[in-house]
Amino acid sequence: MIRTHFMELERDDGTDVTVEYSISAYDPGVCSGPAEACYPPEGGEVEIIKVFNDAGPVKSTDAEDEKWSAHIAENHDHDDDSYDYWEQ
């Protein structure tokens, strides 16, 4: 089951939109200690599902999608990602 999130963002023309997205779990990796215990960061991939405003769906540009994906990846609260499958 994919869990989606919402974030308010601004378009290149200055209008506000809501972006619905999914993001994979992020592991920051380990870069200290013995070399054999180190591994690079992984995860945190963003998929934009839908963009909309009060008027309805909005068609975003590729440049906006890239900018928003980078912003989401940097600012998403992964502490909110804990999901208890046993509660279903």
| pLDDT tens, residue by residue, 38-66 | 988 888 899 999 999 999 999 999 999 99
What CATH number is associated with residue 36?
3.30.300.260
Task: Answer left, alpha or beta for residue 44, where phi above 0 means left and psi between -120 and 50 means alpha.
Answer: left
What are the residues whose beta carbons fall under 8 Å from the beta carbon of 31, sequence distance 6 or more? 38
Q: Is residue 28 part of a domain?
A: yes
Give me the domain span that covers residue 47.
5-81
Amino acid at 28: P
* Residue 62 tokens, joined: 């590729």
pTM: predicted TM-score of the whole model, two decimal places: 0.75
Other CB atoms within a 10 A radius of the CB of residue 76 amount to: 17
Residue 1 pLDDT exceeds 90 = no
Residue 51: per-residue pLDDT: 97
The count of structural domains within the chain is 1
Q: Is residue 86 part of a domain?
A: no
Q: Is residue 35 part of a domain?
A: yes
Residue 50: per-residue pLDDT: 97
